[in-house]
Amino acid sequence: MGCRLHIKGQETLLRYLFDKATGRSDGGGIPECDLYGEQEPWEIWEAYGDGTNLRENKNALYLFTKSKKKSAKDSRLDRTVGAGSWKGEDTGTKIFLKERSGIATTLFGMRKRFHYESKNGCLHDGRWIMHEYSLDAATLVNAKSSLSNPKDRHELVRQDVKQVVCLICNTDQQVGFVIRTAAQACSNCGVNMGEYFCDICKFYDDDTQKGQFHCEECGICR
């Protein structure tokens, strides 16, 4: 038996991937599969699309896979699958992690869309779609290195955050360049990004009734 996945939004999906990649959990029970191997897409579907790993609409299958390079000296990724390959349809969409304020966000990962094409042409061409989700490299490296330090055991190493995005005007800006007033404001439109802001943790929050403060002993905001 298994449980059907209820994944709401891209951010939730990346959290499963983040936990899997950093060893925090098994990634919600999502199975691993080589999506860039010898199996054809329809063979993968037959092997894993038994209902346990499907979304409620039964048209999407969630799987973990490892990326492969074309060669040891080549930085490009090899996306061959079966007798064909996954062909890219876009350059990718950035996915940002929302803070509690709902305004300031941090780059979390990317989503790219691909379709299947065989080498010699077949009826399956274009009929199989893959949405590839990947974590931001800096986020992953920082998260793995922080596991040995109890002070840094968070989903993101906030001290290393360098950029935020205003959801009102979509302005990408460095955290250090954010205008400092009684609260923190967007450098472009001036909207308040958070009544509370910690310059050490790069942490924004609107609910000041919690009495947040930066704990020097713990190394985090409480």
- Please write the tens of the pLDDT for every residue from 48-79: 876 555 444 567 888 899 888 888 888 888 99
Q: What is the pLDDT of residues 142-189, one digit of tens each?
A: 665 555 555 544 455 666 777 777 767 777 777 754 444 434 777 788
* Rounded distance between C-alpha atoms, residue 118 and residue 85, angstroms: 6
What pLDDT shows up at residue 72?
80
Which residue type sits at 221?
C
pTM of the model: 0.58
Cα torsion 119, 123, 126, 130 to 10°: value is -90
What pLDDT shows up at residue 1?
25
C-beta atoms surrounding 9 within 10 Å: 10
C-beta atoms surrounding 159 within 10 Å: 18
At residue 216's C-alpha, the angle toward residues 210 and 218, to 5°, is: 80
CA 61 to chain centre: 17
| CB 69 within 8 Å of CB 76 | yes
Helices 137-146 and 10-21, packing angle to 10 deg: 40
Beta bridge pairs of residue 26 = none
Q: What is the pLDDT of residues 91-136, one digit of tens each?
A: 999 888 766 555 546 788 899 999 999 988 888 898 899 999 998 8
| Domains observed in the chain | 10-142 (2.170.150.80), 162-221 (no CATH)
- Any idea what DSSP says for residue 27? S
